Amino acid sequence: MAEGFEEKLAYFQAITGLDDPDLCAEILSAHNWDLELAISAFTSSSSPSSSTNPSAFTAGVDGGGGSNPAESSLARQDAGDRAAPGLAWKLITLPFYVVSGGIGLITGAVGLGVWIAGGVLSRSLNLLGFAAPRGAEADRLIPVSASTAEAADFVATFERDFGGAGAGIRFVAEGFMDALQRSQREYKLLFVYLHSPDHPDVPAFCSGCLCSAPVAAFVNENFVAWGGSIRRTEGFKMSNSLKASRFPFCAVVMSSTNQRIVLLQQIEGPKSSDEMLAILQRVIEECTPSLVTARLEAEERRNNQRLREEQDAAYRAALEADQARERQRKEEQERLEREAAEAEKKRKEEEEARERAAREAAEKEAALARRRQEKAMSLGIEPEKGPDVTQVLVRFPTGERKERRFHSSATISSLYDYVDSLDCLKAEKYSLVSNFPRVSYGPEKHSLTLKEAGLHPQASLFVEVDS
């Protein structure tokens, strides 16, 4: 077998996943060793429905019969005789796997509810010890779809091979259908890049064109970008749907009705960043009016919907106004009654507090009077002047002075009893202090006599209130 045939056979096996080389050779031989034709026939024969053939094209935008002049402008030409690409419109029927992705959103929602309910039941059984522990994979809350995982792998591989995150075009890590819906929501066109890892022109195109600053900035600002590898399921089927014959391959599409997309521009073969930028700018310039119109129509629908909601809300508010006023009147009446009751309760509490404070003050004053009387009685009669008599002068913080004679054998505590017997000091904690030298006669000196304390024959003390 010739070397070219062996390469085609190996590539066909890699794309289709068939392990039998004889079967692959028979399929290729039946299609005259046309690799693209054989792959298209293989994928078409394995498609769930013939009505969703990935290669099906309609006759034009309006769906009418006959030839379409726009399609002729998209005819593939040799690399040496290719005309400048122009904007062309072509309706493409989406492959069944893309359409089924939208249906899967509905069935997935139902399945998610069942999955969550089963997870709760399983968790409860685990807690009760009736079920074996699950692995980390089973604990994942929402498993991603195959197309999302494939897109995420492509983004990670592209960033690894052609620059870190943030360099080049920011491809969305979503399936094609999700990316198409995102472009609808954002009123943008969808930029599609199909990656052929084995093509010799692809590395230079990715690094020199897609990852160039002007192209990347323009695509990131004006498009939703989706990429896929033709080695993977979704990328391979989209390459058949878009009839990609040369690589590198890019396309600009937008959504249409009846599970169709509009092919606005396809860009095949290596391009410089300037050529790519010029093509994309022309596409944006020619499609901007339709995008603006779609955005304005959507805004008008949203405004109408908001107006209806506001009218409904005003109507409901009018219906509830009487009930709200009645409820407010009752609440106000209850509030006034509650405030009156609280005010009466507070008045009684304050009156009781005043009576209690007055009673406590009277009791305290009576206790002080009894204490002064007891202290005065404990002092006895003031002695006459003599050699064994000490003259003591006491100064109070108010400036008042008191003088008394004591026997020199009297203790320091008798001086405190004298101060306590007078109605000159309201503080209960104080100390007697002499100035020169400064000596504080605290509790540790209460048992000393006046003579032992050095206060005989006369002493001048002042009262220092403890803080």
| Phi and psi angles of residue 194, each rounded to the nearest 5 degrees, phi first | -105, 120
Query: Can you give the CATH number for the domain in which 13 is found?
Result: 1.10.8.10
Q: What is the CA radius of gyration of the chain?
A: 50
Asked if residue 164 is part of any domain, the answer here is no
- Cβ-count burial 269-282 (b if 16+ within 10 Å, e if not): bbbebeebbebbee
Asked if residue 219 is part of any domain, the answer here is no
Asked if residue 445 is part of any domain, the answer here is yes
Asked if residue 207 is part of any domain, the answer here is no
pLDDT in tens, the chain (467 residues): 455 788 788 777 777 767 778 888 888 888 888 877 877 777 655 443 333 333 333 323 233 333 333 333 333 333 333 333 445 456 666 654 444 444 444 444 444 454 455 554 555 555 555 544 444 334 444 567 888 999 999 999 999 988 755 668 999 999 999 999 999 888 899 999 999 998 999 999 999 999 999 999 999 999 999 999 999 999 998 998 898 889 999 999 988 776 678 899 999 999 999 999 999 999 999 888 888 887 788 788 888 888 899 999 988 888 899 998 999 999 999 999 999 999 999 999 999 999 999 999 888 888 888 888 888 888 888 899 999 999 999 999 888 999 999 999 999 999 999 988 888 877 778 899 998 888 999 899 989 998 898 889 999 999 988 87
| Phi and psi angles of residue 212, each rounded to the nearest 5 degrees, phi first | -70, 150
| Phi and psi angles of residue 66, each rounded to the nearest 5 degrees, phi first | 85, 175
Triad 273, 279, 280: Cα angle to 5°: 85
User: To which residue do tokens 């419109």 refer?
Assistant: 89
Cα 113 to Cα 316: distance, rounded to the nearest angstrom: 33
Asked if residue 439 is part of any domain, the answer here is yes
Asked if residue 426 is part of any domain, the answer here is yes
Answer for the pair 268, 194: CB distance below 8 angstroms, yes or no: no
Query: Is 0.85 surpassed by the pTM of this model?
Result: no
Domain that holds residue 18: 1-46
Asked if residue 74 is part of any domain, the answer here is no
Task: Give the β-pairing of 90-93 and 189-195.
Answer: unpaired
Strand partners, 440: 433
CB within 8 A of 446, min separation 6: which ones? 411, 412, 413, 416
Asked if residue 394 is part of any domain, the answer here is yes
Q: What is the tens place of the pLDDT at every residue in 321-371?
A: 999 899 999 999 999 999 999 999 999 999 999 999 999 988 888 888 888
How far apart are the two ends of the chain, measured CA to CA in Å?
A: 112
Structural domain tally of the chain? 2
Answer for the pair 392, 461: CB distance below 8 angstroms, yes or no: yes
